[in-house]
Copies of this chain bind each other. A is one copy, B any other.
Amino acid sequence: MVKGRTEIAELGEFGLIDRLTAKFSKNNKSTICGVGDDAAVIEASKDKAVVVSTDSMLEGVDFDLTYFPPKHLGYKAVTKGISDVVAMNAVPEQITLSLGISSKISVEFLDDFYEGVEFACKEAGVDLVGGDTSASMTGFVVNITAIGRAKKSEITYRSGAKEHDLICLTGNLGASYMGLRLLERERRVLQGVDNPQPQFEGYEYLLQRYLKPRARYDMVESLRKEGIVPTSMIDITDGLASEVLQICKASKCGARIYLERMPLAKQTTALAEEMHMDPVVAALNGGEDYELLFTVPLDKREQIMNLGCIDIIGHITAESTGAYLVTPDGKDIALQAQGFTPKK
């Protein structure tokens, strides 16, 4: 081939997806929403839609089996899948699992993995409806497809945020990332040690957030009970900065996020301090929190406050003003996204 070679890093993940999917046209009227949101939206009946999302987890990139127990990995795979369905304000109902299995994987490993899958499915009221196993030459590969359902009028896209809308966030940020940092540190310290005893005391919450995060399907129900349909929504997988920018891009708007309103757990702050790092960096760029970021009109403020465990961290602005993090002393820091770049 005489063609040149462009590295993927030159485009970035989001630029790459835009480039690759630019030429595709729509062939079916049942396709309500295609590429570009957390999940695809497909017509089911006159007033209802099915949403479908797909995600991969690859050994050595998304998880390290030296410290990731298979049971937790199974649980987390389900969370990763259904979180995208939840981010469309839909109720997750089914998943399919496709596994690539390398020779080092035993039946007992898979028993544990599926135990975690089953536990997560039961907890979320989701059915495992299909799958596929194949040999993998390299590492353990997990692909999860999640399917959910909602009234068309309730489906929440990334694209509906309007100027002056409140930016809301469930839970707290950065804990999952700090859990990963802790696991990595203990692995490094204990490399080559016989009978290693990692020190996790006082940081159990961080480990749980990284190894066994729960998707916020409870929030879909809470919002429904309050009669609130957010104007836009996304789940936190790549870190707050990236998700705010995705909403801004899809909704053609700007945003202001206030640093002092950033919800951080005590253990997150404590470990960050111990590691001489800024916990806000973990919140902005860490990712894998599986919390929900959404926007609602200004007049829903009280209802949102009543729901509890939701923070209003900022508001939507005009597109021309850009997307910023505002520090307590009034400085504006431009938000920057991070996608993946292929590892060597």
Chain A contacts to B: CB under 8 angstroms: 1, 3-8, 10-11, 13, 16-17, 19-21, 23-28, 30-31, 33-35, 37, 39-40, 42, 44-46, 48, 50, 52-56, 58-62, 93-94, 96-103, 105-108, 110-111, 114-115, 118, 121-122, 125-139, 141, 143, 145, 147, 149, 340-344
Contacts of A3 in B (CB 8 A): 108
Q: Which of B23, B131, B141 contacts A35 (CB 8 A)?
A: B131
Chain B minimum-CB-distance residue to A108: B3
Contacts of A42 in B (CB 8 A): 50, 93-94, 129, 147
Chain B minimum-CB-distance residue to A100: B58
Chain B minimum-CB-distance residue to A149: B30
Chain B minimum-CB-distance residue to A103: B342
- Given contacts A6-B107, A13-B133, could you give 11 more A-B pairs where the C-beta distance is less than 8 Å? A16-B133, A17-B131, A23-B115, A28-B93, A30-B149, A31-B129, A33-B129, A40-B129, A42-B147, A53-B96, A59-B137
Residue pairs across A and B with Cβ atoms less than 8 A apart, 29 shown, are A6-B107, A8-B106, A13-B133, A17-B133, A27-B125, A27-B126, A28-B94, A28-B127, A30-B94, A34-B127, A37-B130, A42-B94, A44-B45, A50-B50, A53-B96, A54-B96, A54-B98, A56-B98, A56-B99, A56-B141, A56-B143, A59-B137, A98-B143, A101-B342, A105-B342, A133-B340, A134-B340, A136-B342, A137-B138
Pairwise interchain contact B56-A134, C-beta atoms closer than 8 A: yes
Pairwise interchain contact B128-A34, C-beta atoms closer than 8 A: yes
